[in-house]
Structures are given as structure tokens and as C-alpha cells.
């Protein structure tokens, strides 16, 4: 199973991807990894800054948006990107995240693109062929 695929014929000015997972937690983790890979061209970064946060919402779609937004807040406010992430989503749409982040200054030679925001455009979580998938359009 691929973690995500980038879509080359969509989102002309931005970047779109589909994240996959065997379950919801994994799909969220893979979406977070796609966001990291879109910004930073360095695979093997473990990160050494411990991160913990919680986000809540009222649907999986809006939870995914809030989750990616939180990742972007770390990037803009604390100058930390998150290559390694674990999520645990509860039935009440509360997501608990534990992760390891890396200071952006350590990765300045590997920048590709800055993600401004995650859009709601065509955002829909689906079950297909035994996997959970979600198309996400990021504003670049």
C-alpha cells in the first residue's frame, strides 16, 4: 500500500494528494507525512523534539483539516516540521497526537514548498478496496 499519491492533473496552482490507510489512524498519519514530504525533500529525518497535542471536531473530514492546520501552526509559529507522527482517534472525533519534530533551521537546504493551508475543496474520506482514503488539496 502506498502511503499517498500526488495528483499531477489537479489543483493547478496548488498541490493535491490522496492519502491511504488500513484504518483511520493510519490514513491521518499518511496525510501528515504527505504534508511533510511536500515541504521538505529529506526522507530520513527522525526528529528529536517531542510533540503532543489533541484536536477535536464533529466529523472525520473536519478533524483532518484541524489536524493538518495544527501541523502548519507548528511550522509557522514554532518553526518545527513533523516527519514522524502517531495518532489515536477516538469515537468522539478527538485525536491524540504524539510525534517527533525537527527544527526547520536544520532542514533549510531541503525546502521544496511552503504549505499555506489545507482546503475543504473536494475533501471527502472514502472507503475503497479495503482501504480508507482521502483526497486533500493544499494551498501552496
Partner 1 sequence: MDIQDIRSSFKETYKNTWDSKSVGNVPIRVYANKDIFKKIEGDVFKQATNAANLPGIIGYSYLFSDAHIGYGVPVGWMGAFDAAEGIISPGIVGFDINCGMRLIRTNMSLNEVKPKIKELIDTLFKIVPAGVGSKSTGLVPELKHLNNNDMNSISEEGIDWAIRKGYATKKDKERIEERGVLKYAEFSKVSKDAVKRGKEQLGTLGSGNHYLEVQTIKEDFNKDVANKLDLDTIKNQVVIMLHTGSRGFGHQIASDYISRFLKYDEKNKINLDDKQLAYASFNSDDGQDYLKAMACAANFSFVNRQLITHQIREAFKKTFKKSENDMGLEIVYDVAHNTAKTEEHIVNGRKSVLVVHRKGATRNFGPKNKELNGVLKSTGQPVIIGGSMETGSYLCVGTKKSELESFGTTLHGSGRTMSRVKAREVIEGKKLVNELEKKGIYVKSNSLNGLIEEGGAAYKDIDQVVNSMHDAGISLKVLKLVPIGNIKG
Binding site for partner 1 (CB under 8 A): 6-16, 39, 41, 61-62, 65-66, 69, 72-73, 75-77, 79, 104-105, 108, 111-114, 116-123, 137, 139-140
| Chain position carrying cell 515541504 | 39
CB of 23 to partner 1, least distance (A): 24
Q: What does the DSSP 8-state code read for residue 107?
A: G
Shortest distance, CB of residue 118 to partner 1, whole angstroms? 8
Q: Write out the three cell numbers for 4.
A: 499517498
**Residue 41 Cβ, how far from partner 1 at the closest point, in Å?**
7
Shorter beta-carbon distance to partner 1: residue 86 or 119: 119
Burial status of residue 28 (CB atoms within 10 A of its CB: 0-12, 13-18, 19 or more): buried
Which cell numbers hold the place of 86? 502517531
Toward partner 1, which CB reaches closer, 5 or 129? 5
* CB of 12 vs partner 1, minimal distance in Å: 5
Amino acid at each position: 500500500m502506498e502511503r499517498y499519491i500526488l495528483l499531477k492533473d489537479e489543483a493547478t496552482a496548488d498541490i493535491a494528494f490522496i492519502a491511504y490507510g488500513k484504518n483511520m489512524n493510519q490514513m491521518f498519519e499518511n496525510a501528515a507525512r504527505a504534508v511533510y514530504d511536500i515541504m521538505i525533500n529529506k526522507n530520513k529525518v527522525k526528529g528529536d523534539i517531542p510533540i503532543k497535542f489533541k484536536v477535536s471536531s464533529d466529523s472525520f473530514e473536519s478533524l483532518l483539516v484541524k489536524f493538518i492546520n495544527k501541523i502548519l501552526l507548528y511550522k509557522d509559529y514554532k518553526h518545527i516540521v513533523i516527519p514522524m507522527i502517531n495518532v489515536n482517534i477516538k469515537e468522539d472525533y478527538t485525536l491524540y497526537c504524539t510525534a517527533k519534530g525537527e527544527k526547520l533551521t536544520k532542514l533549510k537546504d531541503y525546502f521544496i514548498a511552503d504549505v499555506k493551508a489545507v482546503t475543504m475543496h473536494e475533501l471527502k474520506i472514502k472507503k475503497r478496496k479495503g482501504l480508507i482514503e482521502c483526497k486533500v488539496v493544499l494551498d501552496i
